[in-house]
């Protein structure tokens, strides 16, 4: 057998895990029937076992997240194959099978996020952490029928915890330290129970204080210093024998100091006798003597540097609030009518520096003020499961408004000794209206075969106004508008789906599906000749198998997929000295591969689990681009490069995870023990479409472990969690800004102590 280079790399990264797992095997014999706990998901808008849904889906419940110290989306991504999070304080994005959005605020998400059945359209809301979560599901592949809007690559479904009939109180406290600098303190709790015979309520809250783990070597806060707080109140009212009404009120906010994307990893001189050549570290060291290109969780943000007598320090203050009204009315003999009405609002003020990343106090000092309001309404009928068929039908409406103010101050002369000194405004407003009709029919051909057919028709209208003005340095802009764009667009789309399902017995299921996803077009938020970009579509063929083996001891899921993406929306920074972005449509891209996950109850104490993904995601064509392009890792000084055959960003060829879980009763006195060890491997990938080698993430393996003791009455628990124990440096995000490349790293090693109380 021939072992390829990639196979050797993957094998080497998992030698320790395989050896550890093999050592555990003797403890598991003789084999007995220890059935795994059922995982229930809502991937089909019905609560079903994950083994019964003909969809490639992964799920994590609240207890697992708590045991692993998971508090946000980025930490979940390591556990799920073909799911990546580009995590940064500027703009987080979700990627599934290499499909995701780029670095611009005008382009919408390619992976839809839904919280309690409500579509979350803007990436900024993803910056808030989890609070009182029941479970998280990740659906891979287009979900254009039931979930619809902007689920081209997949969907992330978040369920918050529901009110209970019995009085229930919970309190979670944690404190941690990072291996570099700083740490965190976290308080989260809830109280839930019945207020009357037919009214229940749940109140949840959280507070988190985090000292930044990126050490700032110049005067100013460490990168990632942040305070979070939030509260949620949920009511559930039995309004009648067949009617339930739910109301959710939520408010979340955070204040961040410093700048996470803050470390320079390279750059090229923009002009002069050294134009195009790499900037040596010695050039930067005249401003910050300790600066190096080494990736070491340090930054150089000078908040004490004055321009025109004023200092400037990166920060971000954001709040969001939402109100959701759910009504479920059961019609006997027909099904359940569900109405979901939601109002969302967020606002933030973000200050950041770029180009020189604060080495001389910020040659570019940028402020971004953004406000969003949106109302959505979904009504659907979910039929009863009749003998031969069942169905879902409904409509969706959304009306949203986004206003974004973008003032920037450019002090180029102070940095390079000459050039322009000016301020700029690039402000825009976008109003969006969406209407969709959708339906799905499941028909049981016989006891073993069933077919599911569905479709979604949607129309979206966008009105976009963009203004740009240049004024005297740090003067109040918009005294005179240089350019104004006033544009409108309307588009309609029908996305079908069809699935054939075969169940030879109760433990085994095979499926084959055809599905199409769609993401609407729009307008780029930075000035360029052609500001409009077209919609993109994803047509996917998928074959899967889900099985339960060894009398319920073992569960396996397998999916083989081929995704053909047309007019893929690509966002990137423009080459040269500019800090502007553009959005273009690549003609075609293909993502294909295999996903596999398994859980095995070795005995009543030990569980072995893991997942694996192989993905081949590349551009097929990039029309309108330059014919002559550098190899990956090179630089293109003008125009857009044709990246035909180049892998998509955030698309590692291999990704895998293995975990071993040990649970035992009365291990310390009468206290129960729960422990887990995780190893997560990722192949190499790029984090930006410019494909600069300095923005290339090498393959890596991260290790985590946790141990938890629970009191005999199950009221108290004490836990110890270790994340990234081998301190792997992993780029969460990267960008070419002007003539520099800078990155935001994931956290270094973190050790966390937990205390929980539940009544």
Q: DSSP string of 399-434?
A: EEEEEEE-EEEEE-HHHHSSS-EEEEEEEEEEEEEE
- The pairing of strands 263-267 and 740-745 is antiparallel
Q: What pLDDT does residue 531 have?
A: 80
Exposed, middle or buried by CB within 10 Å (0-12, 13-18, 19+), for 403? Answer: middle
Provide the 8-state DSSP code for 664.
E
pTM of the entire predicted model: 0.89
Q: Which long-range contacts (CB under 8 A, 24 or more apart) does 125-129 make?
A: 125/320, 125/344, 125/346, 126/73, 126/92, 126/94, 127/89, 127/92, 127/254, 127/318, 128/228, 128/230, 128/252, 128/254, 128/318, 128/320, 129/71, 129/72, 129/206, 129/208, 129/228
| 492: nearest Cα among 433, 441, 418, 410 | 433
Cβ–Cβ under 8 Å, residues 398 and 119: yes
Q: What pLDDT does residue 276 have?
A: 72
Cβ–Cβ under 8 Å, residues 480 and 467: no
Q: How far apart are the C-alpha atoms of 206 and 214, rounded to whole Å?
A: 24
Q: How many residues does the chain have?
A: 759
Cα Dmax for the chain? 81
- Residue 450 pairs in a beta bridge with 444, 501
- Residue 153 pairs in a beta bridge with none
CA angle in degrees (0–180, nearest 5) for 474-476-480: 115
Radius of gyration of the chain (CA): 26
| 570: nearest Cα among 629, 641, 632 | 641
Cβ–Cβ under 8 Å, residues 361 and 310: no
Q: How far apart are the C-alpha atoms of 15 and 701, rounded to whole Å?
A: 11
- Residue 602 pairs in a beta bridge with none
- Please list the ranges in the chain whose pLDDT falls under 50: 1-31, 356, 633-638
Q: In what order do the strands lie in the sheet with 731-737?
A: 263-267, 740-745, 731-737
Q: How far apart are the C-alpha atoms of 356 and 577, rounded to whole Å?
A: 12
Structural element, H or E, at residue 70:
none
Query: Helix, strand, or coil here: 642?
Result: coil
Ranges of each domain in the chain: 5-758
Q: How far apart are the C-alpha atoms of 162 and 192, rounded to whole Å?
A: 8
- The pairing of strands 696-697 and 700-710 is unpaired
| 699: nearest Cα among 744, 749, 654, 748 | 654
Beta strands in 211-334 (DSSP E): 215-216, 225-240, 243-257, 263-267, 298-299, 315-331
Q: How far apart are the C-alpha atoms of 404 and 427, rounded to whole Å?
A: 6
Exposed, middle or buried by CB within 10 Å (0-12, 13-18, 19+), for 183? Answer: middle
Please write down the HEC assignment for all residues of 434-462: EEEEEEEEEEECCCCEEEEEEEEEEEEEE
What CATH architecture applies to the domain 5-758? Beta Barrel (2.40)
Angle of helix 15-24 versus helix 5-13 axis, rounded to 10: 50
Q: Which long-range contacts (CB under 8 A, 24 or more apart) does 705-708 make?
A: 705/675, 705/676, 705/677, 705/678, 706/67, 706/68, 706/69, 706/675, 706/676, 707/673, 707/674, 707/675, 708/67, 708/673, 708/674, 708/675, 708/754
Query: Helix, strand, or coil here: 285?
Result: helix
How many CB atoms lie under 10 A from the CB of residue 685? 24
30 cis-preceded (ω within 30 degrees of 0): yes
Exposed, middle or buried by CB within 10 Å (0-12, 13-18, 19+), for 464? Answer: buried
């Amino acid at each position: 057998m021939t072992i390829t280079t990639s196979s050797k790399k993957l094998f080497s990264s998992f030698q320790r895990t395989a050896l550890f797992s093999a050592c555990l095997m003797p403890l598991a014999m003789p084999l007995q029937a220890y059935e795994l706990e059922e995982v229930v998901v809502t991937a089909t808008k019905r609560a079903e076992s994950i083994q019964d849904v003909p969809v490639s889906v992964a799920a994590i419940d609240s207890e697992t997240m708590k045991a692993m110290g998971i508090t946000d989306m980025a930490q979940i991504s390591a556990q799920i194959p073909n799911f990546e999070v580009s995590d940064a304080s500027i703009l987080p994005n979700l990627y599934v099978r290499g499909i995701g959005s780029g670095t611009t605020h005008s382009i919408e998400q390619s992976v839809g996020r839904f919280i309690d059945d409500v579509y979350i359209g803007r990436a900024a809301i993803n910056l808030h952490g989890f609070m009182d979560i029941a479970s998280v599901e990740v659906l891979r592949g287009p979900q254009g029928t039931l979930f619809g809007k902007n689920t081209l690559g997949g969907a992330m479904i978040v369920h918050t915890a529901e009110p209970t009939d019995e009085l229930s109180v919970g309190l979670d406290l944690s404190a941690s330290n990072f291996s570099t600098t700083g740490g965190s303190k976290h308080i989260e709790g809830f109280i839930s129970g019945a207020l009357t015979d037919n009214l229940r309520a749940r109140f949840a809250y959280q507070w988190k204080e985090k000292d930044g783990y990126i050490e700032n070597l110049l005067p100013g806060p460490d990168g990632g210093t942040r305070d979070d707080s939030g509260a949620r109140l949920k009511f559930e009212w039995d309004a009648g024998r067949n009617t339930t009404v739910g109301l959710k009120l939520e408010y979340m906010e955070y204040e961040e100091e410093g700048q996470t994307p803050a470390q320079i990893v390279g750059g090229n001189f923009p002009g002069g006798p050294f134009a195009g050549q790499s900037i040596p570290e010695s050039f930067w060291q005249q401003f910050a003597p300790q600066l190096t290109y080494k990736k070491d969780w340090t930054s150089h943000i000078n908040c004490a540097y004055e321009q025109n007598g004023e200092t400037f320090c990166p920060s971000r203050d954001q709040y969001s609030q939402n109100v959701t009204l759910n009504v479920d009315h059961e019609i006997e003999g027909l099904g359940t009518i569900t109405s979901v009405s939601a109002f969302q609002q967020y606002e933030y003020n973000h200050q950041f520096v770029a180009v020189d990343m604060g080495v001389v106090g910020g040659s570019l000092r940028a402020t971004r003020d953004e406000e969003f309001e949106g109302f959505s309404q979904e009504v659907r009928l979910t039929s009863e499961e009749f003998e031969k068929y069942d169905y879902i039908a409904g409509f969706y409406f959304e009306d949203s408004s986004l206003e974004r103010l973008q003032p920037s101050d450019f002090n180029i002369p102070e940095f390079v000794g000459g050039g322009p000194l000016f301020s700029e405004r690039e402000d825009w407003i976008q109003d969006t209206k969406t209407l969709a009709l959708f339906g799905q029919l499941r028909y049981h051909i016989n006891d073993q075969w069933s077919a599911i057919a569905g479709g979604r028709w949607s129309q979206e209208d966008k009105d976009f106004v963009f203004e740009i003005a240049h004024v005297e340095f740090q003067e109040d802009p918009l005294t005179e508008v240089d350019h104004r764009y006033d544009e409108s667009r309307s588009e309609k789309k029908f996305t079908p789906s069809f699935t054939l399902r075969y169940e030879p017995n109760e433990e085994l299921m095979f499926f084959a599906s055809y599905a199409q996803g769609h993401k609407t077009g729009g307008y780029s938020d930075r000035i360029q000749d052609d500001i409009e970009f077209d919609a993109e579509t994803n047509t996917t063929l998928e074959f899967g198998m889900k099985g339960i083996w060894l009398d319920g001891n073992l569960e396996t899921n397998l999916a083989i997929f081929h995704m053909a993406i047309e007019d893929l929306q690509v966002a990137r920074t423009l080459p040269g000295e500019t800090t502007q972005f553009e959005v273009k449509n690549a003609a075609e891209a293909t993502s294909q591969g295999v996903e596999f996950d398994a859980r095995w109850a070795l005995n009543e104490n030990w569980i072995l689990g893991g997942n694996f993904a192989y993905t081949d995601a590349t551009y097929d064509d990039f029309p309108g681009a330059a014919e002559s392009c550098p190899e990956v890792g090179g630089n293109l000084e003008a125009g857009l490069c044709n990246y035909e055959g180049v892998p998509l960003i955030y698309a590692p060829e291999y990704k895998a995870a293995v975990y071993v879980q040990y649970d035992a009763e009365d291990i310390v006195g009468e206290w129960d023990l729960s422990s887990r060890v995780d190893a997560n491997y990722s192949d190499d990938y790029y984090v930006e479409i410019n494909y600069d080698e300095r923005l290339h993430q090498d393959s890596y393996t991260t290790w985590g472990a946790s141990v938890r003791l629970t009191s005999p009455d199950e009221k108290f628990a004490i836990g110890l969690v270790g994340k990234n124990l081998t301190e792997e440096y992993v780029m969460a995000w990267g960008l070419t800004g002007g003539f520099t490349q800078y990155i935001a790293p994931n956290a270094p090693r973190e050790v966390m102590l937990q205390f929980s109380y539940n009544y």
